[in-house]
C-alpha cells in the first residue's frame, strides 16, 4: 500500500481556507463568495537596470490588487529574494480584510520585488527602486487616488522617499504626489509614529484584550500585562517595537527572543534594547551575554509563556510544532505565521489567537493618517494647537483658583498634553485598535457557531466588504 503524503498548503491557500471558514457561516448572494476570494488584478514586471559598476541585472516584481471595493487600494512593497506571485496575492488578500477590520477605507494591494537588498549598495538600490516605480507607473499601479504602496519587509523610509520623488517627476501635474506612497520620512511628507506603528498596534491590541474579562477567562489569564511572560519571534521593526513597548510601558517580561541564528532565553527578562544593540553589532543573537542561547531557535516557540508573538515570517507555526505550543495567548504580529492546520490544533488546545488581519493593522492605520495629511496639505493641529493650549491652560488656572491649591504635576501634564502629531497619531491608532477588537470580540461572543477570533474577524471584514459591493449595485 502506497502512502500519500499531504503537501503543505501554500500561503494563499491558507489565507483562502481561513476566509472560507467564515464564508461558510455567512449567507451571501450568489457570486459574492467568488468575488470576495478573487484577486481583481495582478501585474508582473520584468525590467533591466544598469548598475553602478556597469553590469546589467534583470529584476522581476509583482503588484497585486485583491479588491478595489474601496479606492485607493493599499499595501506595502517587499524586497526579498524568495518573493513570488502567490505570496504577493496572499498578502494583498490579507490587506483587504485588514483594512475592513480596522475601518480604514482602502482596498487591499501588495507588491514584491525579487531581490536581496543586502547584496546591493545604496546607489544601486536607488537605481532599482526608481526603475521599479517607473514600471509601476506605466501600468497605472501607483497613484494617490488608485494604488498607494508603503514599506514592507526589506524596504523602509529611504525606499519610500525614492519612490515618491520618482512619482513626482513622472506625474508633474499631480499636486497630491506626496500621497502616492506612505511610510515616507517625516521630513519628506511622512508622519511621526509610522515606523513604530505596526509594533505599537500590536501593543494596543494586547492592551485591549486585557480590558475584556470574558476573553481573559477564555485564555486562562488574570490581572493586567505587568509581569506577563512574553516570547517574541523576530526582532525586526515590528517585533522590536512590540517587545520594547510591552516591556518598558506595560511591565511585561520578555523571556525569549527568536532570531534567524537561534534564540536567547532568560526567565528574569531580557532587555530589548540591549538585545537589539547586540544584533546590530554581531548580526544575530548568538553570544548575547545575559541569556541562554538556543541554536535551534524555532524550538523556543514552544517555551512555556503567557503571550507568544510571532513577528517574523509566514508559516512558522505548523501542524508539526503546534501540538507543543505552550502559550495562553498567541498574537500574530507577522502575516500568516500560523498555518490553517496549526490554527485548528491551537483552537483544540484552547490557545486564544489574535489574528494577523487585526493584530498587525497598525501600519496601514497610520499610513491612512499619513495619506490624509498629504491630501489635506496641512499638518495635523496646525490651526488648533495654540487655541487648545490656551483653553486648557485656562481650565487649569480656573481649577487652581477655585480650589486654592495647585494641581499635582502629573495631572497638570496630562491636562496640558498638547496635540503634537505623535500624540494625535497614537491617540488615533489606539482608538482604531480598540474599536476593531470590540467588534471582533462581540462577533465571537454573539454567535455559538463562531469558534475563534480569527473566524470572527473574517466575518466582520467580509460583511463590510460585501455590503460595500452590494450598495455599489454589484
Kindly state the cell numbers that stand for 48. Answer: 533591466
Residue positions counted in the chain: 474
* Mean pLDDT for the stretch of residues 297-322: 95
- Give the pLDDT score at 418: 66
Distance of alpha carbon 141 from the chain centroid: 22
Among 173-177, 256-260, 411-415, which stretch is predicted with the lowest mean pLDDT? 411-415
Q: Which of these is catalytic: 110, 216, 244, 253? A: 110
* Mean pLDDT for the stretch of residues 318-344: 95
* Mean pLDDT for the stretch of residues 391-414: 82
Among 6-10, 22-26, 127-131, 153-157, which stretch is predicted with the lowest mean pLDDT? 6-10
With 0-12 / 13-18 / 19 or more C-beta atoms within 10 angstroms meaning exposed / middle / buried, residue 392 is: middle
Between these two residues, 398 and 105, which has the higher pLDDT value? 105
**Nearest-10 crossing angle of helices 157-170, 122-138:** 50
pLDDT per position as a tens digit, 43-98: 999 999 999 999 999 999 999 999 999 999 999 999 999 999 999 999 999 999 99
The yes-or-no verdict on residue 417 having pLDDT over 80 is no
- Give the pLDDT score at 7: 62
Nearest to 345 by CA among 323, 325, 367: 323
Return the CATH class of domain 197-359: alpha beta
Kindly state the cell numbers that stand for 27. Answer: 449567507
**Catalytic (active site) residue 146:** no
Question: What DSSP string runs through 83-97?
Answer: --HHHHHHHHHHHHH
Cα 322 from Cα 174, distance rounded (Å)? 50
Q: Is the CB of residue 26 less than 8 Å from the CB of residue 461?
A: no
The residues of the chain that CATH labels 3.40.50.10860 are 53-188
pTM: 0.91
- Give the pLDDT score at 4: 42
Among 167-181, 211-225, 375-389, which stretch is predicted with the lowest mean pLDDT? 375-389
144-156 burial by CB neighbour count: b if 16+ within 10 A, else e?
bebbbbbbbbbbb
- Give the pLDDT score at 397: 84
The residues of the chain that CATH labels 3.40.50.720 are 197-359
- Give the pLDDT score at 67: 94
What is the percentage of the chain residues whose pLDDT exceeds 90? 85
Cα 239 from Cα 200, distance rounded (Å)? 10
- Tell me the helix, strand and coil percentages in the chain, rounded to 5: 50, 15, 35
Q: Mean pLDDT over all residues of the chain? A: 93
pLDDT band at 3 (very low <50, low <70, confident <90, very high): very low
Annotation: CATH topology of 53-188: Rossmann fold (3.40.50)
- Give the pLDDT score at 414: 73
Amino acid at each position: 500500500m502506497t502512502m500519500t503524503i499531504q503537501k503543505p498548503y501554500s500561503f494563499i491557500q491558507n489565507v483562502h481556507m481561513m476566509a472560507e471558514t467564515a464564508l461558510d457561516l455567512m449567507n451571501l448572494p450568489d457570486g459574492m463568495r467568488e468575488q470576495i476570494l478573487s484577486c481583481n488584478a495582478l501585474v508582473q514586471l520584468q525590467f533591466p537596470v544598469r548598475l553602478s559598476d556597469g553590469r546589467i541585472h534583470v529584476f522581476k516584481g509583482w503588484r497585486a490588487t485583491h479588491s478595489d471595493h474601496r479606492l485607493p487600494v493599499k499595501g506595502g512593497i517587499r524586497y526579498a529574494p524568495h518573493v513570488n506571485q502567490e505570496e504577493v496575492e496572499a498578502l494583498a488578500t490579507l490587506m483587504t480584510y485588514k483594512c475592513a477590520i480596522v475601518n480604514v477605507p482602502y482596498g487591499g494591494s501588495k507588491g514584491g520585488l525579487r531581490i536581496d537588498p543586502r547584496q546591493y549598495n545604496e546607489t544601486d538600490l536607488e537605481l532599482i527602486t526608481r526603475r521599479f516605480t517607473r514600471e509601476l507607473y506605466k501600468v497605472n499601479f501607483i497613484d494617490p487616488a488608485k494604488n498607494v504602496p508603503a514599506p514592507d519587509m526589506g524596504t523602509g523610509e529611504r525606499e519610500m522617499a525614492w519612490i515618491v520623488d520618482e512619482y513626482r517627476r513622472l506625474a508633474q501635474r499631480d499636486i497630491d504626489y506626496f500621497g502616492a506612497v506612505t511610510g515616507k520620512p517625516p521630513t519628506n511628507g511622512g508622519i511621526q509614529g509610522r515606523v513604530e506603528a505596526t509594533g505599537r498596534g500590536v501593543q494596543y491590541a494586547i492592551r485591549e484584550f486585557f480590558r475584556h474579562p470574558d476573553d481573559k477567562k477564555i485564555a486562562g489569564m488574570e490581572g493586567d500585562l505587568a509581569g506577563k511572560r512574553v516570547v517574541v519571534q523576530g526582532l525586526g521593526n515590528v517585533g522590536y517595537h512590540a517587545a520594547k513597548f510591552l516591556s518598558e510601558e506595560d511591565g511585561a517580561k520578555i523571556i525569549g527572543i527568536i532570531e534567524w541564528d537561534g534564540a536567547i532565553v532568560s526567565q528574569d527578562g531580557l532587555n530589548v534594547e540591549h538585545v537589539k544593540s547586540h544584533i546590530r553589532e554581531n548580526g544575530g543573537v548568538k553570544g548575547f551575554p545575559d541569556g541562554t542561547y538556543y541554536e535551534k531557535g524555532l524550538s523556543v516557540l514552544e517555551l512555556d509563556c503567557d503571550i507568544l508573538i510571532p513577528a517574523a515570517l509566514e508559516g512558522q507555526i505548523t501542524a508539526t510544532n503546534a501540538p507543543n505550543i505552550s502559550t495562553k495567548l498567541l498574537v500574530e504580529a507577522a502575516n500568516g505565521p500560523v498555518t490553517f492546520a496549526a490554527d485548528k490544533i491551537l483552537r483544540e488546545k484552547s490557545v486564544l489567537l489574535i489574528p494577523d488581519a487585526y493584530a498587525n493593522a497598525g501600519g496601514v492605520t497610520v499610513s491612512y493618517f499619513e495619506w490624509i495629511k498629504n491630501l489635506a496639505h496641512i499638518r495635523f493641529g496646525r490651526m488648533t494647537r495654540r487655541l487648545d493650549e490656551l483653553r486648557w491652560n485656562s481650565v487649569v488656572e480656573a481649577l487652581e483658583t477655585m480650589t486654592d491649591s495647585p494641581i499635582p504635576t502629573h495631572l497638570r501634564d496630562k491636562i496640558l498634553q498638547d496635540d503634537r502629531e505623535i500624540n494625535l497619531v497614537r491617540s488615533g491608532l489606539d482608538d482604531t485598535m480598540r474599536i476593531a477588537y470590540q467588534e471582533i470580540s462581540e462577533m465571537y461572543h454573539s454567535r455559538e457557531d463562531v469558534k475563534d477570533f480569527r473566524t470572527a474577524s473574517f466575518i466582520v471584514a467580509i460583511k463590510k466588504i460585501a455590503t460595500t459591493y452590494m450598495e455599489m449595485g454589484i
